[in-house]
């Protein structure tokens, strides 16, 4: 499959296409950077970002050789420090991108703590960022069983987390409109995998004409693309960074 087709099938995005502007003033990361963590709004935005993007941090730590419990504790300790306003300014902004900021901050945190037991220990104190829905398959997925670097694991887990957030938002929109079944069917058309049903098969299942299904899938893809750009906007400092971050995400998925 050509590279662009592969990317389109994985992300629903045509790499050669450009889309309309994204409302940027209230994105989570821009709020954090503008206030430097010194306002309730910035603190709330940062907490939301931590809850969303903890898995790349955990995956990086597992590749570094930390046991699952240690990696969880370090993840908690890192976010606990990040959420302390007096220490926020000590971490680097790394080109204004949340993805780079968190990885750079984590490396700084590990070096500063000399990989000692974190202040928040398992079973003690307040766990400020609940690692929600941490399932056994998450642990298995992140076990250090292949020869990729910690940075590669971090980047791929980051990209997949972005896509997971986009699909969840899109699913909620369809569900609120009473179209949950339509979402489940159209989602099957995103990946180009052997065994995936054809548009004709899905149209028959839904009692739609093929033309109606094509139009529904077109709208699905358009909204998916829009939400993907919105999600990326939440993790960069300026609107000009969105295109670069989108290209980076596509490159990671291609790899």
In a domain, 68, yes or no: yes
In a domain, 14, yes or no: no
In a domain, 13, yes or no: no
Pairwise CA distance, residues 136 & 151, whole Å: 22
In a domain, 15, yes or no: no
CA 78 to chain centre: 18
In a domain, 206, yes or no: yes
What's the pLDDT score for residue 56?
Answer: 93
Instruction: Tell me how far CA of residue 56 lies from CA of 26, 116, 203, in angstroms.
Output: 24, 21, 37
What is the pTM for the complete model shown? Answer: 0.72
Neighbours of 64 (CB within 10 A): 18
What's the pLDDT score for residue 193?
Answer: 56
Q: How many CA atoms lie within 13 A of 237 on its CB side?
A: 12
CA 227 to chain centre: 12
Closest CA to 174 of 233, 212, 235, 227: 227
Number of independent structural domains in the chain: 1
Contact 151, 244 (CB under 8 A): no
Instruction: Tell me which residue has tokens 């299942």.
Output: 205
Q: Reduced to 3 states, what is the DSSP secondary structure of residue 121?
A: coil
Instruction: Tell me which residue has tokens 């596509």.
Output: 250
Contact 34, 42 (CB under 8 A): yes
What's the pLDDT score for residue 15?
Answer: 47
CA angle, residues 32, 80, 75, in degrees to nearest 5:
105
Q: Please, is 1 exposed, middle or buried when counting C-beta atoms within 10 Å of its C-beta (0-12, 13-18, 19+)?
A: exposed
Which residue range(s) make up the domain with 78? Answer: 3-8+21-254
In a domain, 36, yes or no: yes
Q: Which residues of the chain have pLDDT under 70?
A: 1-27, 34-38, 85-95, 113-147, 191-195
Q: Partners of 236 in the beta sheet?
A: 97
In a domain, 16, yes or no: no
Neighbours of 232 (CB within 10 A): 24
């Amino acid at each position: 499959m050509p590279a662009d087709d592969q990317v389109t099938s994985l992300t629903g995005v045509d790499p050669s296409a450009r889309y309309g502007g994204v409302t940027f003033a209230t994105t989570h990361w821009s709020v954090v950077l503008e206030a430097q963590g010194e306002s309730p709004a910035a603190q709330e935005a940062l907490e939301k970002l931590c809850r969303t993007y903890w898995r790349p941090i955990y995956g990086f730590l597992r590749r570094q050789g930390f046991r699952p419990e240690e990696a969880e504790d370090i993840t908690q300790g890192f976010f606990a420090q990040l959420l302390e306003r007096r220490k926020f300014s000590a971490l680097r902004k790394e080109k204004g991108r949340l993805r780079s900021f968190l990885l750079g901050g984590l490396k700084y945190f590990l070096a500063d703590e000399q990989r000692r037991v974190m202040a928040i220990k398992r079973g003690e104190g307040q766990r400020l960022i609940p690692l929600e829905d941490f399932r056994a398959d998450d642990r298995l997925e992140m076990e250090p069983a292949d020869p990729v670097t910690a940075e590669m694991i971090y980047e791929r887990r980051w990209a997949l987390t972005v896509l997971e957030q986009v699909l969840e938002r899109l699913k909620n929109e369809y569900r609120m409109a009473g179209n949950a079944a339509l979402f489940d069917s159209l989602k099957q058309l995103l990946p180009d995998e052997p065994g995936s049903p054809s548009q004709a098969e899905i149209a028959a299942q839904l009692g739609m004409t093929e033309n109606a299904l094509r139009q529904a899938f077109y709208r699905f893809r358009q909204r998916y693309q829009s939400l993907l750009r919105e999600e990326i906007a939440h993790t960069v400092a300026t609107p000009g960074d969105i295109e670069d971050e989108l290209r980076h995400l596509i490159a990671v998925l291609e790899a």
